[in-house]
Amino acid sequence: MDCHQQAIHQGSTLPAMIASAHPEANRLAYRIRTALTGESTGLETAKLAWQQAEAVARANAALQQARQLLADGTLLDCLLLENQYPKLLETARSLDHPLAEAWAKRCQTYGWRLAPPVDTEAVSKIQAAIEEQGELKDWLFKQYRAAVRSKTESARAYQIIELIAARFPDDPNAKEEAAAKRAQMLAQAAADVKDATEQLIPAEPPKAVAHRYLALGLPLADSPDATLASALAQAAAEHAKTLSDKVRAVVDKAQDLSEASNWQEVESAYLACDHTLAINEARGDLPPELRDAFEKVATQLSRIRAKYESSISIRLAIADIRNGADNKGKPVPLPNRVAKLKSLESQTLKTGSQIPPELQAEIKSAYTHARRKRIPLLGGAAAALLLFAGASYFYLQQKEEQETAAALQAEALAALQSTEQTGSTAQVCEALQKWEGQIALAEANSSLANQATLLQDWLALQASLENEYQKSVADLQKLAASPDSLQNAAAIEVLANDIRKARADLAPDRGTQADVQFAALLADYQKRQASDLEQKRRELARVERELRIAANNATQAKSRAEFQRLQTAAETRVQTLNTLLQEDFAAPSRSQLTPLLKSVTQQLSSIETKWAALENAWLQLAQTKELTPYLAQLERIHSFDILPAEQKAALSQTLRLKDSFAQLKSSQNLFATPEAADAFTTGQRYLDTQVELSDEERAYLTRLQGLESFANVYQSTVQYFEGSAEPQNEYRIYLVEPISKSDSQENESSVAFSFKVRGFDEFGNPEPSPREIQFISRADGSFWGFFYKPSTLSPESEYYQRSISNTLSHLLAGANRLAILDQLADLEKQSQLSPAFRVYWQQQFIQFAQLHPWKWGLALSPSLKKHAAQLDKLPSGEENQRLWLSIIEQTVPSPDISILAKKELGELPRKEIAALSKLYQNAANGQYQLAGYVLADGKPDLLKETNPKANLWSVNALTGNIDRIQPGQKLTPYAPILVYTLPGGDTPQKQLEKATFASGLKLAEPPYASLLPPLYQ
């Protein structure tokens, strides 16, 4: 794997955070065009090549995946992938620019990273599939609705609506729906991260959950959730540490950076790391000292690359001088090519770089080549002179060697014999190599030749032994490196002993590398044996620790599903621990851990039995239809010691109100006022109940008894004469006492007598004394004056004594609720009585009813209350009590009083009271019954027969009291939900309809609607 491939492989690993600062394709194309035009080189241009190659590789990977999705028949997945890489098709087209071929040639020339070709075939196929689909908007919305309906594809639904919003930015509905879905997914991400954080053994760590949602493109940083923010911060910190470690690795790798080292490998690592920092915008997160060290590496690489690229540029210029060059189809003149070479040479020297000797020779050769084209004869003569000088030197050297050959033969023999005694193959080999020439010149079977043959045979034997030794070490290495090497310890030990024996026959300086390898193998194997033993011991301790944790967590599980998950984890560790205890290394721990395994197994079995019983108890609770058994079942569930704390607390809050549930009807206000609740009691008919008077009512009625202004008022008919035999006027007057008549006094022309009359003044007060009124009867048959007929008790006093006093006594003795209504109806019929008299007693009886309107039905009759309001406008008190006796009122009745006296209520009040009282009585006779219960999430779950629109009661989670359920109210989990049921099983609406039909009153409309019991409203 070369440096570029290794960097690509490292860059393909999914980071902890999502890189979002990839360079734009159009910008890359522009920079490449600029670099080609200006013939730019250097480290920055190498960075540009790296960025281009990364962009193409990334786009090709996405195109290949999209192409595969398209081949599988899922255009939607292809579009979703295309949307993850903003404008993927457009990006791919921009990367496949016309200068790609020229740029590839430049990259090959200067050793920059070469970008692969863009997969234009995939671009064409994807575009054709999109165009073939036709109208995308409706099709995408259809796919979105299908994903929304599926409860398991919320993430896919979010991706689809984001795709719609991106492709159709002018659609406000898509934008609004995308925003709503984004908010929903943010809340879901926060909830999932919180769950993963709170779980002791989560299926997925919190940072992995956060990364999964980040991969969807969600702006998790916008969420206010503290747990999610903490998970993001942790992931970001780990990601920053990972990047810092990569940078530090590059810095460490560049410690001994020089031209002589493999600087291209360091440069590839640097460019890969620099690109990663750029796309993650993480350069500023590096510690200052590490950032400075990284920049120093860049400076070193820049200097080395500049020198390297200057050499390449110079060689290219030399090639142009030798081979010619074209610019835009026209040949470049030789002087221009020479000038370019001189310029490059000058630039290199100015930067302080030294031109290598071989390159200097090539430069000189190039200049010579250029000059030779101008003076070819001079070049030929110089070449002949050089050839002659070389031949002379070779002849003299050969002669000198021949003279010294004989002396060297003897010296070589002595050296070989001396080296044989050392036993060192290196020295023998060195001697043979040193005297190789003399040995070759020696005659056959000479001492020098025989000694050389002996040493050569010994060297061959040592080489063969070394090969066998190395092969054995290699075999040992394979065996030690095999996956089951630790299980083959016996075979490895036998082979190691054989290798030790083979080493004794080998020269000390032979197989030294194999010696090091053999020693390292043994040390490494022994180290691995010790590490394996330690790892097994740690594994045993880890499994034991995890078993204890899992068993403890299982005892604290909040649900049976969680217990089963933890039970499975514990049982898995029981099996693992049992397996480990069978191995030899675990023998000392068996006596301690075997009882633990038995205890945990028994504990899990016991808890499983309890969870089964608890689950069955919950099922029985859900099947309960009555309140008392429901509360009893709650008490049974509350007694389970495995019940989670939050569930136990919720049940405690409900069970604390057990007595309150039993007394709920008496504690709840079914009616608008306490007086209404007192008037309607369970099992008693409102209209048939004898009313018990209060002290205030008794005092009121007692005050009305025996009123002299009503009990003993007399009346007389008065006739007024003015000379005629017929009265000119005749009317009735009220008298304080009966009329008395004087004796007649007669004379020749007339008879006269007088009446003593004591009546009432204009205010209704008795006159101080009787008035004597004279009447004259003349002889001519004419009458003069006022004639009073015999007085009698007034009909008002008779009515008072006969009816009103009787009603007052009846009320004091305990009358029914309609007694006052009966009296008022009777008063309406007494048209012969004084209007002021009738109105006054109407006023008194209604004011009496107003003391406690629910007792006498006044609160249930809008018509009666309206009449009472009209009566309240009249004066009251002593003045109104005597108004009917006023001489003025007797003569000219007041208009207001006359109107009220003529008004007839008829049977309407009785109808109203009868209809509404029946509804109130039904409400009083009702009972609270179980209508459902509250689920664990606080949402109500009603029985099938329960009307969801009915008024419901349950335990308020905020107040801890039994309250009527209101919209948005938070309820206590598992609390019973009650409904108030009426006699006969009818709903309030049905009873209201029946009462409306029976009474003929529109009870659901004003003014009756406001008087209905709350259940019927």
pLDDT of residue 377: 34
Cβ–Cβ under 8 Å, residues 880 and 843: yes
pLDDT of residue 668: 67
Instruction: Name the more confident of 258 and 362.
Output: 258
Stretch 658-670: mean pLDDT: 77
pLDDT band at 366 (very low <50, low <70, confident <90, very high): low
How do 952-955 and 962-964 pair as beta strands? Answer: antiparallel
In tens, the pLDDT along 534-566 reads 888 888 888 888 888 888 888 888 788 888 888
For 937, which DSSP code? T
Stretch 807-826: mean pLDDT: 88
CB atoms within 10 A of CB 1007: 13
CB atoms within 10 A of CB 499: 21
In DSSP notation, 689-749 reads: PBPPPPHHHHHHHHHHTT-HHHHS-EEEEEEEEESSSS-SEEEEEEESS--EEPPPEE-SS
Is residue 272 pLDDT above 80, yes or no?
yes
Long-range contact list for 69-73, CB < 8 A, 24+ apart?
70/125, 70/126, 70/129
The pTM of the full predicted model, rounded to 2 decimals, is 0.44
Stretch 36-49: mean pLDDT: 76
- Round to whole Å and give the CA distance between 44 and 873: 102
pLDDT of residue 190: 84
Cβ–Cβ under 8 Å, residues 665 and 928: yes
For the chain, give the mean pLDDT: 79
In tens, the pLDDT along 113-136 reads 888 898 888 888 888 887 777 777
Please provide the size of the chain in residues. Answer: 1017
How would you label 472-484 residue by residue, b for 16+ Cβ within 10 Å and e otherwise? bbeebbebbeeee
Residue carrying structure tokens 């007085």: 791
In tens, the pLDDT along 76-108 reads 778 777 777 767 878 888 888 888 888 888 888
pLDDT band at 410 (very low <50, low <70, confident <90, very high): low
Is residue 965 pLDDT above 60, yes or no?
yes
In tens, the pLDDT along 301-324 reads 878 777 777 777 777 666 666 665
pLDDT of residue 870: 85
Q: Name the CA dihedral angle for 698, 704, 706, 712, rounded to a multiple of 10 degrees.
A: -170
For 936, which DSSP code? T
Instruction: Name the more confident of 974 and 77.
Output: 974
SS3 state of residue 80: helix
Is residue 788 pLDDT above 60, yes or no?
yes
pLDDT of residue 398: 54
CB atoms within 10 A of CB 131: 9
pLDDT of residue 348: 58
Quote the percentage of the chain above a pLDDT of 70.
86
pLDDT band at 396 (very low <50, low <70, confident <90, very high): very low
Query: Which helix H or strand E contains 783, and what residues bound it?
Result: strand 783-788
Highest mean pLDDT among 567-571, 585-589, 1012-1016: 567-571
- Round to whole Å and give the CA distance between 368 and 375: 10
Is residue 1017 pLDDT above 80, yes or no?
no
Stretch 223-227: mean pLDDT: 80
pLDDT of residue 975: 92
Instruction: Name the more confident of 578 and 447.
Output: 578
| Range with the poorest average pLDDT among 343-352, 496-505, 543-552, 851-860 | 343-352
Stretch 865-894: mean pLDDT: 78
Is residue 367 pLDDT above 80, yes or no?
no
pLDDT of residue 324: 54
Instruction: Name the more confident of 358 and 871.
Output: 871
In 3D, which of 200, 281, 198, 285 has the Cα closest to residue 241?
A: 285
Q: Residue type for 700, please?
A: Y
pLDDT band at 976 (very low <50, low <70, confident <90, very high): very high
In tens, the pLDDT along 411-446 reads 776 777 667 667 777 888 888 777 777 777 777 777
In tens, the pLDDT along 686-702 reads 888 888 888 998 998 89
Q: For the purposes of burial, counting CB atoms within 10 Å of the CB of 180, is it exposed (0-12), middle (13-18) or buried (19 or more)? A: exposed
